[in-house]
Structure 1
Amino acid sequence: MKNALRSGIALGATMLGLAFPLVGQAASDNYADRPEAKALYETLEAEGFERDYLRSVLDDAKQQESILKAMSRPAEKRLTWGEYRNIFIQPKRIERGVKFWQEHADTLARAEAEYGVPAEVIVAIIGVETHYGRIMGNYRVLDALATLGFDYPRRSEFFLGQLEDYLRMTREESIEPGTLKGSYAGAMGYGQFIPSSFRHYAIDFDGDGHRNIWSNPVDAIGSVANYFAEHGWKSGEPVRANVVMGTPADPEWINAGLKPEVSLAQWRERDIRTHKGLDMDQPATLMRLEMEDGDHYWFGLHNFYVITRYNHSRLYGMAVYELSQAIAEARKKG
């Protein structure tokens, strides 16, 4: 889920830099024999897995050097907001978003009614993540998670944990581990869920007994809506607010974090205001994002923070929100 640009440029995990050599080849060409695999074996054996099975799965996993190289160039670290925005807020993606909404209008309406998440936000997530299912990734998920778990020391603990969850997930869903494909960070399906997110938030929204986010847009839509609801989406509340800067902001206040912790009333006391009509007791975070014509400022509100639980990037949050609004407006115009 932390994969911002799978459908715009070399897509996958978004927040990490490659600062380590490709250690896997020097250590062992077979992941099943790697010392780090011992803990995985012991953990999963305690849950009823057989070691021979686990060894056979890891023996099948292959290091993908291109994944390690891709981790060194996450777009959120390289692009300005203006550059990042231009990848997603463009006519073809908006047009296809309207079409996706039209094709799945009943499902989106049901998801919005049950979970309180606007249809346009669900559509925008799927549009940013996979261009509405067109680009879901071509790496075997097994290879991606093994490569990053064993050969990317900076986040090895995280990705080994995802590998464990992937093996649990494939057992629970009766799927062969070597068959699924996804992003270079092991994210899967229309909404690009990592294995732990799949296990916690994917749902069977069409009632057929399977949670299929790979080829069933109904389950994918319901799963994205459930993810947002479980992360605290507040129905009917705004996502961001305009900023009117009375006096220059203290640099320490700007882009200080994604979580809103200072109320709009407190910002007003600092002579940083927003438009009328908002609950001044609600918290907001002050964001500055670089455009071609200079810096732009916004307040990120609670629902903006919820969007960034999908991908911990303010650029990502802004792209999803602005795409959602562009799709909704285009749909109204017909």
Structure 2
Amino acid sequence: MDRFYKVKFYQIALMFCFGLVSVAGWAGDYSDRADVKAFIDEMVKEHEFKRQSLEKLIAVAKKKQSILDAISRPAERTKTWQEYRPMFVNSTRIKRGLEFWETNQKTLERAEDVYGVPAKYIVSIIGVETMYGKQGGAYRVIDALATLAFDYPKRPLFRRELKSFLIMCREYNLDPLKIKGSYAGAMGYGQFIPSSYLSYAVDFDGDDLKDIWSNPVDAIGSVANYISQHGWVRDGVIASRARVSGESYRSLVNESLEPTKTLKEWAETGVTPASTDALPDQMEAALFKYKGRLGAEFWLGFNNFYAITRYNHSRLYAMSVIQLGDEIERKRNIKTES
């Protein structure tokens, strides 16, 4: 896809925005529904969209049953850690992560310097999300978000994202019929949903574009900015294996992604860090249990662990990002030393 879709689709996008493109005969699944009409009314009233052009655009959107099926069974909810980890922490992603790091080394160093997020975790997030841009999603975002906004139980969330998508396309002169992404409407190297694009995407190479689709420089900066804005602490501890004893901790396992107790309080329930590094008693953490290949694993997740879960609200996701990043860095160090 051409950079940022702008050059190739600029005129088409403007024609849609001003109602100059006819989509007669393209009717999809959202042409004559009361809830869709109410959504269009809202966009016209609150965001000054042209009614006729928006009606034509929404009419082109297609309901996709495959999207509804996919969102009902995300891997984070259906798989154990033993099943989930090999999907992302594997030789292919490590190899491609090394290549991505080598190709984008200067950009990653700059992002780490500006935002405080280690290069290895920027690399691993992009690896987990899209295999370094190779798996960005095959659905038209307009179809994904219309399907979820009007035919999925959690409609309010996706109506907000559909709204953000339309605003994004108008603001940045993007063709809404050409942008592709995941079944949930996530886009680009880092799989930003539209509201995240509007809030956290950055022009990291200074060309006046925020191209997360085909420009790894902007994608790297945007991922780092997202994590930074969600509370990442430069040089902060992320997680530590934990030792557990007694019974008091059991009701607190996997209770919250957010750090809930200090290490002193965790010690009172029989939980202590296995790390040999001295950690302050007042440092807050959450306790997680993973069903690994060799049995149960207990981990304490600190503030930076929680920051990663703001990208995807899953302890499995966050741990896969951490372990993939650590493995890529380890292999890179071996290669550098040899």
- Normalising by structure 2, what TM-score? 0.88
Q: How far off its partner does 1:70 sit?
A: 1.2
SS of 2:310's equivalent in the other structure is helix
Q: Which residue of 1 aligns with 2:307?
A: 306
Q: Which residue of 1 aligns with 2:321?
A: 320
Aligned length: 306
> What is the rounded CA distance, in whole Å, between the counterparts of 1:270 and 1:138 in structure 2?
47
> What is the rounded CA distance, in whole Å, between the counterparts of 1:316 and 1:91 in structure 2?
18
Equivalent residues of 2:122, 2:224 under 8 A apart: yes
Aligned residue type for 1:229:
S
Q: Which residue of 2 aligns with 1:241?
A: 240
Q: Which residue of 2 aligns with 1:54?
A: 54
Q: How far off its partner does 1:245 sit?
A: 1.7
The superposition leaves residues 5-27 of structure 1 with CA deviations (integer Å, 9 ceiling, x where unpaired) of xxxxxxxxxxxxxxxxxxxxxxx
Aligned residue type for 1:148:
L
> What is the rounded CA distance, in whole Å, between the counterparts of 2:248 and 2:320 in structure 1?
24
Aligned residue type for 1:316:
Y
Q: Which residue of 1 aligns with 2:70?
A: 70
| Structure of larger gyration radius | 2
Q: Which residue of 2 aligns with 1:123?
A: 123
Q: Which residue of 2 aligns with 1:79?
A: 79
Correspondences of 1:285-304 after superposition (within 5 Å): 285-304=286-305
Q: Which residue of 2 aligns with 1:282?
A: 283
> What is the rounded CA distance, in whole Å, between the counterparts of 1:61 and 1:115 in structure 2?
38
Equivalent residues of 1:246, 1:273 under 8 A apart: no
Q: Which residue of 1 aligns with 2:156?
A: 157
Q: Which residue of 2 aligns with 1:98?
A: 98
Q: How far off its partner does 1:34 sit?
A: 1.5
The superposition leaves residues 65-100 of structure 1 with CA deviations (integer Å, 9 ceiling, x where unpaired) of 111111222111111101100111111111110110
Aligned residue type for 2:187:
M
Q: How far off its partner does 1:247 sit?
A: 2.4
Equivalent residues of 2:101, 2:123 under 8 A apart: yes
Q: Which residue of 1 aligns with 2:6?
A: none
Q: Which residue of 2 aligns with 1:224?
A: 223
The superposition leaves residues 235-261 of structure 1 with CA deviations (integer Å, 9 ceiling, x where unpaired) of 101110121223244321111110001
Q: Which residue of 1 aligns with 2:23?
A: none
Unaligned residue ranges in structure 1 (runs of 5+): 1-27
The superposition leaves residues 262-307 of structure 1 with CA deviations (integer Å, 9 ceiling, x where unpaired) of 0011111223111341122111011111012211100011100000
Q: How far off its partner does 1:32 sit?
A: 3.2
208-217 or 45-54: which moved more?
45-54
Equivalent residues of 1:284, 1:300 under 8 A apart: yes
Unaligned residue ranges in structure 2 (runs of 5+): 1-26
SS of 2:288's equivalent in the other structure is strand
Q: How far off its partner does 1:137 sit?
A: 0.4
SS of 1:235's equivalent in the other structure is coil
Equivalent residues of 1:308, 1:314 under 8 A apart: yes
Q: Does 1:132 align with 2:118?
A: no
> What is the rounded CA distance, in whole Å, between the counterparts of 2:248 and 2:287 in structure 1?
9
Correspondences of 1:136-151 after superposition (within 5 Å): 136-151=136-151
The superposition leaves residues 142-193 of structure 1 with CA deviations (integer Å, 9 ceiling, x where unpaired) of 00000111111x1111111111110000001101110100001110000000
- Normalising by structure 1, what TM-score? 0.89
> What is the rounded CA distance, in whole Å, between the counterparts of 1:116 and 1:145 in structure 2?
33
Where has structure 1 moved over 3 Å in runs of 4 or more? Answer: none
Q: Does 1:329 align with 2:338?
A: no
Equivalent residues of 2:28, 2:61 under 8 A apart: no
Q: Does 1:209 align with 2:197?
A: no
Equivalent residues of 1:141, 1:186 under 8 A apart: yes
Aligned residue type for 2:42:
T
> What is the rounded CA distance, in whole Å, between the counterparts of 2:72 and 2:240 in structure 1?
33
Aligned residue type for 1:299:
L
Q: Does 1:193 align with 2:196?
A: no
